[in-house]
Every structure is written in structure tokens, then in C-alpha cells.
Amino acid sequence: MLKNHFNFNAVLYAALMVAAMWLGFLLQYLGLFTGCSGAIVPLSPYGLKGIFLSPFLHGSLEHIFGNSVPIFVLIFLLFQFYPFIAKKVFLLGWILTGFLVWLLPPIDIYTGEFNTVCIIGASGIVYVLAFFLFFSGVFRWNMKFLTVSMVVALYYGSLIWGVMPEELFSQLPEPSRISWQSHLSGAVIGILMAFIFRKSGERKVKFIWEFPNYYSEKDDKLWQEYKENHPEDFLELPYKKKENVWERLDELRKNE
């Protein structure tokens, strides 16, 4: 029974992604990725490879720990409840978010200065998945998917604040190292994909009684079973022949 409801591939894909992230972090520690190598560098041809590599790279243990848990949970939810489009959403979300981050100019919101930045981490994918899972349930208006939306909102609702620069909310001694561009890009792509794929795969089940003007005796299994089990109820019943007054006209005159 568990196999009918639990998608073991969902756990496998989630675990593989987290393992790849930790492998990338290990390679960083060993010095295979230094500086901006493997990072997204906005508007720089050199930084295009970061679209594919940056989710595996992180700046610290705190950084990778902070992304590992939500990545695992959200990938599991995606493949568990949306197996019919999960791979499309994951891969397209990853690439499109990375490309949108690369297109956004790294401009300081206060000074307007153009800064060269190196963006690493899987937070863009986290935002893609979180916003897709939430808005997909809303757009489909299906009870099962809405439940997933509520779970995501409950545990990751605070992510909404990450789509804006941290400097707007607190006085920082130096510019924030958190890439709000990745968060904003992921949120936008997640919402767009939730809308585009809203009619793909499993949809809301509509029962026959939800169609008030529709009834087909052939589709009514209970009615068919009753007819088979009680044929005597459907035999032609005897009835009184309708009296024709004109045939008894002479008889009626005699009685008068």
C-alpha cells in the first residue's frame, strides 16, 4: 500500500542533489574552485558556466547547511506530488533562473555603482521550487495540491522577504553578501512555471454529481446491478384495458 502512495524516486532525486552540493563544496575546500570559478558573474561571458555550476558551490558551512534542508524537502515534494512534470520544472527552473540572474546588472541600490559580483549557491533553485509548489496549488485549486501549498507557506513563507535587498530592512556595516537577485529570479520563474503548467498532468477530479444536468443510465452502476438482480421488478405489469364507451352504447341505453 505504501508503494502506491509513496514515490521512492522523490527521495532519491532529493538525496542526489544534496549529495552533489556537498561534493561541490568538498571540491571547493580542496581548491578546485577558487575565486569566481564556477560562479555566475552577471553580464560576463566568463560567468555563463555558473548557470550550471553555481548551485553546487557555497561560501561556508552555514551557507550549504542553510540550502541543503530546503532543497531536499522541496525536491521531494515536487517529485512526490508532481511526478508528471517534476523534471521539466526542476531543470527549466534551474537554467532559466540562472540565466535571469546572469542578465540582472549588479548595481548598488543606494549608490547606483556597477559592482562585479560572483554569485554561488542553490538558493535560486530553492525559490523556484518553493514558489512553484505554492502557486501551482493555487492555480489548480485542487485540494491535494493546495495542501502542499499550505505546507510550503507554513515552513518557507518567510522566503518572501528574500526577494528584496537586505539593506532595505537593516543597517549593514558593509553590503550584504546575500544574492537577492537569485531569490527574485527564482520566485518569478517559479510563479511563471506554475501558471504555464497549471493544466498539465493530474487535475482536479470532478464527480458525476458535480454535473447537475448530466445523467447517463449506462454509467449508473448501481442501477445496472439492481436491474440484473431484480428482473422481476421490470416485467410488464398487467393493466386494465381502457373502456370504450361507444362499444357499450346499446347496453347503456337499455339500462336507462
pLDDT digits (tens, 9 = 90+) for 83-118: 889 999 999 999 999 999 888 877 666 666 677 788
Spatial CA neighbour of 198 closest among 73, 85, 95: 85
Spatial CA neighbour of 57 closest among 30, 31, 27: 27
Superfamily of domain 2-196: Rhomboid-like (1.20.1540.10)
Q: Is this prediction's pTM over 0.85?
A: no
Share of the chain above pLDDT 90, in %: 23
Q: Where do the CATH 1.20.1540.10 domains begin and end in the chain?
A: 2-196
Share of the chain above pLDDT 70, in %: 72
pLDDT at 2: 39
Q: For the chain, what is the radius of gyration of the CA atoms?
A: 32
